[in-house]
Structures are given as C-alpha cells and as structure tokens.
Structure 1
Amino acid sequence: MQERNILPAGQKVKRRSLNRKNCRCRFKCFQNIKEDDQQKIFRQYWALSYGGQRDYIKQNVKKETKAKRTTTSSSRRKYSYQYYLDNEHGKQRVCKTFFLDTLNIGEKTVSYTFSRNDGVRCQDQRGKKPGSRSRVISQEDRNTVREHIESFPTVQSHYCRKTTTRKYLEKHLSIRKMYELYREKCKSDDREPVKYWLYDHVYFTEYNIGFHRPKKDICTFCDAYEKMTQEEKEVRKNEHHKHLERKQQARDQKRKDKDRTLKEENILVVNFDLQKVLITPKMFVSDAYYSRKLSTYNFTTYDLSSRNVQCFVWNETEAKCGSCEISTCLYIHNKEVGEKDEIIYYSDSCTGQQRNLQFCIMCLLIVSNFPIKVIIHNYFERGHSQMEGDSVHATIENSTKRLEMYSPNDWLLAIKNAKQTSPKYAVREKHHTMILDFKECASSVVANRRKDTNGDIVHWNKIPQISFFSSTTSARITGA
C-alpha cells in the first residue's frame, strides 16, 4: 500500500516517490545513472527548500535558443533544454523524461523556474497572494465556527447517557445544513465564511456530537466483539456465547408468556419503555435550530394480549425521567387492571429507571395493596431489548415527521392521533403532583439493600428477573 499525504480539506494524494523507468533513449540514462545514485538525487532534491529546489533545476538544466528548425512554418517553441544529473563520473546528460521522473516533478516546474530570469533566487509565494483561496485562516475564524456549532442545543442519549459523554443534535439537522446556516449568519454579520472543509474538520475533531440519536442501545459488547482480532475473540468467545444465550432465553420466555396470556385471562403480560426525548419547539425555520429546547417524555405500556397502549406524557417542567417517575406511571397503570393472578413485565435493562430498589418497592406495594397475586419483572439482555412497544414509538415518529410542534400540548394531540386504526393510543398527561416518592419510601422501609438472605451481594445491573408475591410480601431474585 502506498503512503499518502492528507491535505487540510481531507483530500488524499499520493506521496512523491522515485519513478525509475528504462527510457531507452540515445543518452542511455538507465545504464549511466544507477538506482542508488537516482535515489540519492531524489532525496537530496526534496530535502531542499522551495528556493533551493529552483536553484537545483537552474544548475542542472541548460536553456538554449533553439538552433535547428525542422519545418518551414513558424513555431511557438523558441528554446530547448538540456538535462543533467550527477553520477560517480560527474554530470551526465539525460533525457527530459528520465530527469523529470527522477525528481518526480512536471515539465511546468522547469519552464516556470526559467521564466523567473531576474537573477533573484525564487521565493515560495504560495499562500501569500491576495484572494480567498490563499487567505490565511485566523484563530478568530475558527472561534466563530466553534461558537456557531455550540449555539445549537444538544441533548444526551436517553439509553446510553451513563456510559458515554456523546451528545446529539435534533434529527432534522446535518453537517451540511449547519454549514448553510453558518453561511447565512456570516452574511447577516457581514463576515466572510470559512470553507466547508474547515467547518467539517472542526466539528468532527473538536466535538463529540452526533446526529439522529439511536432509537435503541447499540450492544457495546457485540459491537466490540466483532471488531476484535481472532486471538481476542478466542479469549472472550465463551463470554460472548453466554451473552447471546441470555438474549435468546429472554426472547423465548416472552414468546411463551405471550401464548399464556392469550389463553388465560388472569395473566397480563406488558412491556414498557420510555420513548426518546420529544423536543419543543420543533420547527423547520433557521432561528428554531438555535433556540433552547423543552423536553417532553412519553412513557408507553403495551398489553400483549389486547394490544392496548397507554402513553403517559409530561414535560421537564413537571418532572424528570427517573425511577420515581417511571414507577409512578406503572403504579397508576396497575391500579386499574383489576384482579389478576399474575402480571409479567418486560423491559430494557436501564438501571436508573426500572432496575433498582425504588421500582421494587413500587411492585411490593402493588402486590400488598391491590388484588394482584404475583408480579414478575423480566429484563432483556443489555443491548437486545427489541419489543412490541417499539412499534408505537415508530408510529409516533413517522406521523409527526413533518409536523411542527410549538408546545408540549401539541405532542399530546399528535400522539393521540398518531395511529389511524382502532384501538387508538390512550394518552394521559402527568403532572408533578402525581409523582410518588418511592426513594423516600425505600429509605424508610428497607434497611438492607445490598445483600440477599444468603449474605451475597446483589448486583442490580446483572439481575435478569425479579418476582414479587402478595402471600409473603417479598421479592425473589432469579438468576443474578
């Protein structure tokens, strides 16, 4: 593979190298100039400065007035050139092709050098002439680009925020769209914009900001495993195999529970998830991209037997999206399901929302105070949490793709009308007065939150299933 130089614009060009060819000319260049001598000449030439290279050409090329004419018609060619290179016997005349290939230069380089016949050593004038192409990029221009990039409000990844610092812009933006907005701003400020390549370079080298936040976690372990060498894969092969086994076990169990709930009325199987953040305002005008965005949250429950959907919607001025908020939504949902022998939950493995002590307290309160005998909460393997509720979020996103949202109430109406067929999505607006403090309840009720009855440490992020029983008002952790 040939080495390449990378230009500031990101364009790649071949690095200069010696081009040794047998020219088969009358000067016998290939025989008179050995490869070692040719390599030495090439290295010495490119070690010189710009002016030194021009002096070398003048010293080794003779420009003479054309002495012989072969045609009667007039010719634009008035001069001829004689080319010389050094070998162990001194200067040796060579042909033009061999000379240019040895130095890896073009014919225009020679002609331009001799066009500067004022006797003064040539100076490199690149980047010194007036004009936009040679304009030196100042630190002020770079700072202007940085200020513009930072003027766009960013949000954290909903699913990956605990494992990455990467932030995201709203999905309607792109690097090209941002650059066009930057040019408009420069025009309004009577300022000359930098080229696109520089804007792109600053964005991707100085900022950890992406577009189109992922709808679901990318499985970091599977992704890393695919990029490992064969030796590394062999070391972690067993671990990866168990990871895939747990993924399949969770899916197989959900399939069995779905079959059960279709046959038995007293069993309810529900999966739930929090949709990615819905932003307000959502408009397609330039000024809206710079405005501070208000986050709206949509927590969705999906009944696998009836396919009924409930959407609990609130904005960040009312509440956050932590464990108490999620637990409150399910507490309200469970109050209305009536008498059930068993409720089975399926969710992703987000520790901050539903894989924690606060959520367990909520489930214990449900089996203690409502006619529900058992609650079983199953967690999908991290990075593999595809479920039926995802189709609800996809429907909402598709139906609102071209709609503008001016307030959180617009999202409420849009979610209600997102599905065209029956049953429609049931939308419930949640206010801060509805939020129950399960953290305070956990602190006052639970003294031991780290060890089980056997004295073993409970690793919350590794729990695949938790069961809650009304008969004993206790919880049992399975397979941790």
Structure 2
Amino acid sequence: MAGSVRTTLYRWHGGLAASEFATYIRHYLSSLEKHDEIIIFSDGCTYQNRNAVLANPLQQFASSTDNVVQHKYLVRGHSHMDVGNSHSLIEREKKGRSINVPYDYVQLMKSAGKSPCPFTVHYVTHDFFMDFSEVCPYTSIRPGKKTGDPTVTDVYYYKYTPEDNNGRKPIQYEMRFSEEWQDISVPGGFASKKVGEPKQLYQERLEIPKTKYNPLQALKAVIGKE
C-alpha cells in the first residue's frame, strides 16, 4: 500500500492465499486514523482483490469503525498507481547491493524511502495471518447467480457501509461508473450468519518446498558463509 505521503510495505516469504492479502489490507486499515470514507485502489486479480474472503473483513471493518470503504478496480491499460513509484525506488536502491537472505530486502526497502516520507516496512511471520475464509456472512460477491449473469470481473467497484437501522451490513456494487449502487444479497439474510473472530491461518512456520529448497542449497556456492 503506497501513496505520495506515506508508503507501507509488507514482506513475507510464504504463499498467495486470499486470507494473506485480506490480512495485509485489514492490518493497514486498522493503522489509519478515523475517516468518513476510505478508498482502496487495486488491480482486478480475482484471488487477491475480488473475492468474498477479502470482502467480509472489509465489511466488518466498515461496520466496527463506522467508516465507508470503497474498493475501486483499475481499468486495464488505462491506469497507474503510486505504488509503482515506490517499487521503482526499491529497484533503483537494489542496484549494486548484495542480497543474501530475505531480511536484506527489508533493510533495502527501508533505505529506499527517503526523507521526508520514509517507508514503513512490516517483515511478517506465519503468526501474523488470520483465516478469513471461515468468517463469511457473504459467501459470494458476484452480482449474478446463474450462467450468463455478470461476474465479479464486471464490477467497477464495491462499497462497504456501516450497519443500517435495520441491522443490515450491506455490500453494494456498481457495474459502470454512471450506474446506481446495488446491494449484494446474503443467502438466508444476516440473521442466519453468525460472525466470529477469525482464527490463525497458520499454526506453525511454513516448510520450504523441495522445488525451492534444492536451489537454495546451490546458492551456498556463491553467497557468504555467514
């Protein structure tokens, strides 16, 4: 997550599960001061940014903090994000630097952010992540339900709002920028969906897969013994 004022980076050596991305975003939002409205921009990758695993914690955040959160998706081929500038700074900082272990990247990322806007870098471990897949009153955020209906890739953006006077916590969407907001329905209604606290996603450190372990051993010939 990055911007012209503040850049926050997360470093993790594990996988690409939807709950991992949901944990990053939920953690970042929790660090912000109170706002009436928060807008998130991201690409349209479905397993990262367009799924119920992320949508539910965003909705719970909106409800618990009385914020409105809008999640907008970039239009392919017509968009640019400030985070690209941060990545460019890191790539320039990496030139001529020796990287032997993952923590070297953390130090490099910190040094890439110059004053007056240094980068905040979180080097997270397995116990940082929460499993949001089991805390899902919304089992789907797809606008349509049958073959031929719109899918999540047709949505331009979602809006997450605090609980209304009827006890609903609606997620709304727009298919085009000029359309009216529409509600995502919850099968069985909210009363049938009991939401608890998410559990830890990982109970122990992740093992290094063999396909990665063997090349790491080969690196011993070219990196310092320490």
TM-score for both structures, normalised by structure 2: 0.69
Matched, 1:477 2:173: yes
With over 3 angstroms needed to count, the CA separation of the structure-2 counterparts of 1:385 and 1:349, relative to structure 1, is: farther
Give the Cα separation in 2 of the matches to 1:342 and 1:357: 21
User: In the alignment, what sits opposite 2:2?
Assistant: 302
Name 1:367's counterpart in structure 2: 62
Letter of the 1:434 counterpart: F
Q: Find the counterpart in structure 2 of residue 352 from structure 1.
A: 47
Give 1 or 2 for the bigger CA radius of gyration. 1
* 8 Å CA contact retained: 1:367, 1:468: yes
Q: Which has the higher helix share?
A: 1
Tell me the SS of whatever aligns to 1:402.
coil
Of residues 113, 116, 121, the one that matches 1:427 is: 121
Match of 1:315 among 13, 19, 23: 13
Q: Does 1:393 align with 2:91?
A: no
Backbone CA RMSD of aligned residues:
2.2
1:328 aligned onto 2:28: no
Q: What secondary structure is seen at the aligned counterpart in 2 of 1:409? A: helix
The structure, 1 or 2, with the larger RCO (C-alpha pairs under 8 Å, 6+ apart) is 2
Instruction: Report the alpha carbon displacement of residue 421 of structure 1 after superposing the two structures with TM.
Output: 2.6
1:338 aligns with 2:33: yes
The equivalent of 2:219 in structure 1 is none
Where in structure 2 are the equivalents of 1:451-462 lying within 5 Å? 451=143, 457-462=149-154
Residues 335-387 of structure 1: CA deviation (Å, up to 9, x unaligned): 121321000111111111011111111210111222x4200111011244421
Q: Give the Cα separation in 2 of the matches to 1:409 and 1:447.
A: 37
Counterparts of 2:45 and 2:77, CA distance in 1: 10
Structure 1: segments with no counterpart, 5+ residues: 1-300
Partner of 1:446: 138
| TM-score, normalization by structure 1 | 0.34
Q: Distance in 2 between matches of 1:394 and 1:352?
A: 25
CA 1:323–1:383 in 2, change beyond 3 Å: closer, same or farther? farther
The unaligned stretches of length 5 or more in structure 2 are 177-226
**Residues 418 and 302 of structure 1: CA distance in aligned 2, closer, same or farther (over 3 Å):** same
Q: 1:347 to 1:448 in 2, by over 3 A?
A: closer
* CA-CA distance at 1:466 after TM superposition: 0.5
Structure 1 segments of 4+ aligned residues over 4 angstroms from their partners:
447-453
Structure 1: distance between partners of 2:112 and 2:139:
45
In structure 2, distance between residues paired with 1:365 and 1:436: 14
Residue in 2 that maps onto 1:463: 155
Equivalent residue letter for 1:314: W
